[in-house]
């Protein structure tokens, strides 16, 4: 895979497929981690005299313009990080994009409006997607893929566009792939995986692979309750995917047969209702044993004994991959489990990888120093699919 160091970019129009898909509260960015992650690649291209055209998606608009999903706030933040003016095109391939990109001088930057405002970006029809990629290609001379959070999508700007232009991977993607190889090809042991998040169905495929590779798997978050149910425990009104109980039972048996420690919560914080995440009103949860969840309550975080147990299981790790919070970390009364796991990663001597998504958001929300971790990924879904052994369309296109 070529990198941007292999490209001659001076005076060239370089299309950078970034991931500026940041959370917004109206027009206010609540977590700019993804913008900060790609900024060094853009800065390097600027320093080398490229005319940089940045494109990204944001949210899930319905293939048409929607002000709620405008990239204008992200473009403004990028300009602040770069310390220079960043032009903004109010469309992706229309008159504004054409005029803004044509006006770029060497070392200048423009951001196009949300790619998903055009139905061709996400179309499953190859011809429609290809036609949109053709229009994007007309704006540029070279392509740099650096939106790791989107490389598992077969979208026009991720998969089709690099086939139409000389291309290379940006520094962020090169780093992400290098880290993931350390989790699959050259692992320091013990290899401990901590998995959380809401749905167990989102993680079954990666668990299937990790049972063959990991030494320990720790499970928390909403997905833990389906595993607890698979062990015969009642889970009250906790998040439960009943149809996945047989699969969870099978994975527990496989792990035991292979000698892989599969560790589930021993206690949990429970309440009769989900907390108010806007007001952050005190929730007053109870702590109960994991096999004693009352019928009228739901589990919302791992308990203090589980936090101590998981910290002990992480203490001697050589490598840790963490994906998914241990509870409803957005509320202070249910952030303790996620905080404990993050702190355990920092306290270990392991090579630590935070697998993007809510885990990365939690690290920042809870005030941890991002630089203290070995790596914080910008792509939760992409990281998981890579570890599942899937071919990621965006990476495959860059390999050509």
- Check 236, 299, 356, 357 and give the catalytic one: 357
Distance separating alpha carbons of residues 120 and 21, to the nearest angstrom: 18
Q: Which of 182, 199, 213, 364 is catalytic?
A: 199
Tokens read off for 167:
């291309």
What is the Cα–Cα distance from 306 to 321, expressed in whole angstroms?
18
From the candidates 34, 48, 154, 297, give the one annotated as an active-site residue.
34
| Preceding peptide of 381 cis, ω within 30° | no
Residue 76: CB partners within 8 Å, gap ≥ 6? Answer: 86, 88
Which residue among 324, 337, 356, 381 is the active-site one?
381
Q: How far apart are CA 52 and CA 55, in angstroms?
A: 10
Rounded (5°) CA angle 346-351-355: 80
381 flagged as catalytic: yes
H or E element that contains 236: none
- Pairing mode, if any, of strands 167-169 and 191-195? unpaired
Cα separation, 149 vs 385, whole angstroms? 11
> Dihedral (C-alpha) 231, 237, 243, 249: value to the nearest 10 degrees?
-10
Backbone phi, then psi, for 191, in 5-degree steps?
-100, 110
Are 151 and 173 in contact by the 8 Å Cβ rule? The answer is yes
Known active-site residue 34: yes
Run of H or E residues at 381: helix 380-387
Active site residue ranges: 34, 199, 357, 381
């Amino acid at each position: 895979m070529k990198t941007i160091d292999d490209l001659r970019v001076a005076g060239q129009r370089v299309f950078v497929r970034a991931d500026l898909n940041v959370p917004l509260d109206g027009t206010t960015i609540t977590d700019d981690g993804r913008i900060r992650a790609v900024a060094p690649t853009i800065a390097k291209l600027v320093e080398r005299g490229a005319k940089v055209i940045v494109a990204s998606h944001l949210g899930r608009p319905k293939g048409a313009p929607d002000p709620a999903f405008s990239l204008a706030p992200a473009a403004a933040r990028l300009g602040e990080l770069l310390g220079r003016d960043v032009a903004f095109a109010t469309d992706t391939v229309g008159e504004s994009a054409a005029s803004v990109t044509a006006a770029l001088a060497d070392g200048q930057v423009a951001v196009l409006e949300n790619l998903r405002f055009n139905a061709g970006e996400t179309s499953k029809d190859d011809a429609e997607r290809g036609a949109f990629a053709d229009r994007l290609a007309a704006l540029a001379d070279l392509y740099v893929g650096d939106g790791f959070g989107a490389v598992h999508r077969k979208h026009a700007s991720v998969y089709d566009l690099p086939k139409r232009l000389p291309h290379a991977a940006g520094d962020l993607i090169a780093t992400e792939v290098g880290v993931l190889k350390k989790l699959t090809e050259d692992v320091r042991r013990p290899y401990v995986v901590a998995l959380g998040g809401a749905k167990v169905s989102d993680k079954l495929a990666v668990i299937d692979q990790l049972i063959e590779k990991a030494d320990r798997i720790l499970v928390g978050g909403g997905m833990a309750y389906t595993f607890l149910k698979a062990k015969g425990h009642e889970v009250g009104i906790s998040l439960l995917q009943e149809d996945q109980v047989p699969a969870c039972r099978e994975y527990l048996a496989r792990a035991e047969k292979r000698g892989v420690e599969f560790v589930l919560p021993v206690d949990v914080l429970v309440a009769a209702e989900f907390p108010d995440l806007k007001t952050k009103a005190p929730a007053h949860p109870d702590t109960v044993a994991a096999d004693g969840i009352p019928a009228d309550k739901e589990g919302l975080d791992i308990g203090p004994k589980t936090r101590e147990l998981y910290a002990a299981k992480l203490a001697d790790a050589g490598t840790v991959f963490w994906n998914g919070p241990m509870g409803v970390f957005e509320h202070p009364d249910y952030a303790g489990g996620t905080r404990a796991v993050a702190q355990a990663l920092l306290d270990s001597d392991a090579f630590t990888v935070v697998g993007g998504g809510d885990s990365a958001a939690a690290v920042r929300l809870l005030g941890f120093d991002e630089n203290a971790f070995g790596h914080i990924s910008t792509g939760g879904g992409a990281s998981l699919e890579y570890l599942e052994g899937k071919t990621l369309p965006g990476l495959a296109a860059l390999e050509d």
